[in-house]
Structure 1
């Protein structure tokens, strides 16, 4: 198995365990066991539990930002915003443990770099599309884009988790339609 494959197995195991029991309760031993690798392999690849979690956040935030950027397609900025919301819903549908980890663990000051990266990369997609909507006159000119981007991202994150846990049978398109209706009413 290549080093990249090993890292992905460890990332997957760490994400699942941290989502299930929290960062503090998750041990390197448990991560190694779930990944099917030796404890030393985790330390060899990451150095420490903290470095593993930092690398995991960096990797996951990068994938999220790429997914949001790829989703930002539409004829108007508001259509792009709707597409980004749907892209975030789909991303968290596929990577549910990451959504739970973001909600539970990102408030820690130890992960300030990850929060900064999340703000710049993932929320930056939302902010960019919203700036475009303001410039095109599609939304209120006085919109605080940075706050709105954070609010929309957080709303979609929370709704994604709730949908997975409480309403897994609800089609993602129905959830998206409700969120789009809320956004359209408030942004204009």
Structure 2
């Protein structure tokens, strides 16, 4: 992907998120997205084929950004949960409309982007699962905890808490939100 194409796609992603944040995805048109991005309508079709193609690419792009943050969540066993939670909270604070889009589309069944979201959810939870498995292998988690379930629970908890924070509790700091989530998940760790 060339720099120009990448910049154009980023403009379209940003415009879509801005509009979705104020109006939602339902009824949003290609004309409105193109106008918000300051590009011709044909640019959307050229880059994505359709509005659905744009949304699909936007979901993939957002999850790629989130996955990159989570992959960088390396540290000592004591810091793993903090790094994972900080990575997710930071991402959703930076992209609150993406969090809204994920929540609304993940639980809409059957959803238009269900297949894409299933793959993307697996990508994110597999990173979390890998980190939690490392903790389990190091004896840092109680016996009997299913790592796969714990990974899904951590992802879902942070996603919903981040959305709640951005929509209803903006006065809280990221550290306060993180500490609240850590208090909830301390049961994942021994000691």
Q: TM-score, normalised by structure 2?
A: 0.90
Tell me, in whole angstroms, the C-alpha distance in 2 between the residues paired with 1:81 and 1:65.
15
Tell me, in whole angstroms, the C-alpha distance in 1 between the residues paired with 2:118 and 2:106.
10
Task: Give the corresponding residue for 1:75.
Answer: 76
Out of 143, 158, 161, the residue aligned to residue 159 of structure 1 is 161
170-179 or 104-113, which moves further after superposition? 104-113
Q: For residues 108-158 of structure 1, what are the alpha-carbon distances to aligned partners after superposition, in whole Å with 9 as ceiling and x for unaligned? A: 433233223323321111111111111111112211111211111111111
Q: For residues 6-54 of structure 1, what are the alpha-carbon distances to aligned partners after superposition, in whole Å with 9 as ceiling and x for unaligned? A: 1110011112222333322211111111111111111111111111111
Contact 2:125 2:155 in 1 (8 A): yes
Secondary structure of 2:140's counterpart equals coil
50-59 or 178-187, which moves further after superposition? 178-187
Alignment of structure 1 residues 23-34 onto 2, 5 Å: 23-34=25-36
Tell me, in whole angstroms, the C-alpha distance in 1 between the residues paired with 2:50 and 2:107.
20
User: 1:36 and 2:19 equivalent?
Assistant: no
Tell me, in whole angstroms, the C-alpha distance in 1 between the residues paired with 2:185 and 2:96.
23
Cα deviation, residue 80, structure 1: 1.0
Cα deviation, residue 186, structure 1: 4.7
Alignment of structure 1 residues 127-146 onto 2, 5 Å: 127-146=129-148
Tell me, in whole angstroms, the C-alpha distance in 2 between the residues paired with 1:115 and 1:147.
18
Aligned-residue RMSD, C-alpha: 1.7
Contact 2:9 2:47 in 1 (8 A): yes
Distance of aligned partners of 1:177 and 1:127 in 2 relative to their CA distance in 1, 3 Å threshold: same
Q: TM-score, normalised by structure 1?
A: 0.91
Task: Give the corresponding residue for 1:85.
Answer: 85
Flag as ranges the 4+ runs of structure 1 deviating above 4 A: none
Out of 21, 24, 37, the residue aligned to residue 22 of structure 1 is 24
Contact 1:89 1:160 in 2 (8 A): yes
User: 1:6 and 2:8 equivalent?
Assistant: yes
Contact 2:59 2:117 in 1 (8 A): no
- Report the count of equivalent residues: 186
Contact 2:71 2:127 in 1 (8 A): yes
Cα deviation, residue 187, structure 1: 4.5
